[in-house]
Amino acid sequence: MTQRSDDSRRRSPDRAAGRGPAVYTAFGLAAEAEPLSPGLHVVATPIGNLKDVTFRALSTLAAADAVLAEDTRVTRTLLAHYGITTPLLAYHEHSGESVRERMIARMKDGEALALVSDAGTPLVSDPGFKLVQAAIEAGLSVTPIPGPSAAITALVAAGLPTDRFFFEGFLPQKSGARRNRLAVLAGVPGTLVLFEAPHRLPEMLTDAAEVLGGARPAAVARELTKLFETVRRGDLAGLAAEYAASGPPKGEVVVVIGTAPEDAPGPEADADLDARIEAALARHSIKDAASLVADETGLKRREVYARALVLARRADDAGEV
Ligand code: SAM
């Protein structure tokens, strides 16, 4: 293992001014933090389980002159857990140019600032990009302290190919824009990793099944590293039907979607199937219409149900119901 050797490592003025030695405690043992070089230190923090933090992350948080946090209350809990007393400052998505200028000035003055988000890796669908950019432009050093991210954690648990993957983050919230974006993603030759708010998961999966094709293998990873961690695996049609029936899950979720199986029918709707479903929907509930058409055609009930949901919602949007 090669250690980073950095002659500019030093105690910062704040520390020199008498905040005492930088320490953290873990497993009942106190450790003295290593001095930091001036600049921005981008620190990954746990996504649920407080034990998922590296020694280097703790040492950096303890030695920094200040920790820039998305929500200081959330980060205070983490710091308190590890006996870290570094001052906290707010840095979030609404922080403007003037805040960044102040931070840059402090770092130019020789301070080491640590940037964290509420959970996981800062900048990954979290604030920090503009600050990193500003620090680089100002000629300051930017040091990443790697650790957890929900994206990679979900990817490795999904059971889908990992040799090529595309991280999309959050899709647009409105269905039309979401479908347009999914249509662009349909051509990505690798596994897709998406964040989603739990209350939008059922409709997002329905749109994904329609636009990408219900046969794509997929997984919904929920509450990763936490007590109720679960990974539901299946195909998009099946998962869309499951969550349409069960309603939104509790907790946080990541959706992982594989590429289409070679022999899968394309995402294009089957006109005959749609006509059957629409006829059944005119007389029955979505669930009954799906059962009826599944019996008529011999198709899987959950696949017909996922398609029926899409058609019912489309009719709803068009004001036909
Ligand atoms: N920067 C963070 C990271 O690297 O993990 C992600 C921040 S993003 C604002 C929050 C989203 O990450 C959630 O909506 C959810 O999709 C996902 N997420 C975060 N923690 C999670 C967890 N423990 N289990 C499942 N998904 C999680």
- For 7-28, write each residue's pLDDT tens digit: 445 555 455 555 678 999 998 8
With 0-12 CB in 10 A as exposed, 13-18 as middle and 19+ as buried, what is 321?
Answer: exposed
* Residue having the nearest C-alpha atom to atom 8 of ligand 1: 125
Cα 116 to Cα 304: distance, rounded to the nearest angstrom: 45
Class of the CATH-defined domain 151-257: alpha beta
Cα 123 to Cα 307: distance, rounded to the nearest angstrom: 36
Q: Is 6 within 8 Å of 37 (Cβ atoms)?
A: yes
List phi, psi (to 5°) of 143: -115, 120
Strands 142-145 and 39-43: parallel
Q: Is 83 within 8 Å of 23 (Cβ atoms)?
A: yes
Ranges of the chain whose pLDDT falls below 50: 1-8, 13, 267-268, 321
Q: What atom in ligand 1 is closest to the CA of residue 44?
A: 4
Q: What atom in ligand 1 is closest to the CA of residue 221?
A: 25
- Span from the CA of 188 to the centroid of ligand 1 (angstroms): 22
Q: Is 209 within 8 Å of 300 (Cβ atoms)?
A: no
- Span from the CA of 220 to the centroid of ligand 1 (angstroms): 12
Pocket mutation for ligand 1, best pick of 254, 255, 256, 257 (most atoms within 8 Å of C-beta): 254
Cα 222 to Cα 298: distance, rounded to the nearest angstrom: 32
List phi, psi (to 5°) of 40: -100, 130
State the pLDDT at residue 14.
Answer: 53
Cα 321 to Cα 312: distance, rounded to the nearest angstrom: 8
- Span from the CA of 130 to the centroid of ligand 1 (angstroms): 20
Q: Is 39 within 8 Å of 141 (Cβ atoms)?
A: yes
Whole-structure pTM value: 0.83
Cα 79 to Cα 161: distance, rounded to the nearest angstrom: 36
* Residue having the nearest C-alpha atom to atom 16 of ligand 1: 195
* Residue having the nearest C-alpha atom to atom 25 of ligand 1: 253
State the pLDDT at residue 267.
Answer: 47
Residues 6+ apart with CB under 8 A from 283: 289
State the pLDDT at residue 5.
Answer: 43
Cα 212 to Cα 168: distance, rounded to the nearest angstrom: 15
- Span from the CA of 43 to the centroid of ligand 1 (angstroms): 15
- Going by C-alpha positions, the residue among 166, 214, 232, 172 that lies closest to residue 196 is 172
- Going by C-alpha positions, the residue among 59, 79, 77, 215 that lies closest to residue 143 is 59
Cα 238 to Cα 258: distance, rounded to the nearest angstrom: 14
DSSP E strands, 70-130:
88-90, 112-116
State the pLDDT at residue 316.
Answer: 74
Residue entry with tokens 């301070």: 111
Cα 86 to Cα 22: distance, rounded to the nearest angstrom: 8
- Span from the CA of 142 to the centroid of ligand 1 (angstroms): 23
Q: What atom in ligand 1 is closest to the CA of residue 223?
A: 24
- Span from the CA of 240 to the centroid of ligand 1 (angstroms): 20
Pocket mutation for ligand 1, best pick of 45, 193, 195 (most atoms within 8 Å of C-beta): 195
DSSP assignments along 229-266, one per residue: -EEEEEEHHHHHHHHHHH-SPSS-EEEEEPPPPTTPPP
State the pLDDT at residue 273.
Answer: 87
Q: What atom in ligand 1 is closest to the CA of residue 229?
A: 24
Q: What atom in ligand 1 is closest to the CA of residue 121?
A: 4
Q: Tell which CATH classification among 3.40.50.10800, 3.40.1010.10, 3.40.630.30, 3.10.50.30 matches the domain 13-148.
A: 3.40.1010.10
Cα 182 to Cα 267: distance, rounded to the nearest angstrom: 11
State the pLDDT at residue 265.
Answer: 57
Q: What atom in ligand 1 is closest to the CA of residue 226?
A: 23
List phi, psi (to 5°) of 135: -65, -45
Going from N- to C-terminal start, the domains of the chain cover 13-148, 151-257, 271-317
Q: What atom in ligand 1 is closest to the CA of residue 194?
A: 16
- Going by C-alpha positions, the residue among 102, 68, 63, 118 that lies closest to residue 85 is 63
For the chain, helix, strand, coil in percent to 5 are 40, 20, 40
Q: Which residues line ligand 1 (CB under 6 A)?
A: 47-48, 117, 119-121, 124-126, 149-150, 195-197, 221-226, 252-254
- Going by C-alpha positions, the residue among 238, 284, 242 that lies closest to residue 257 is 238
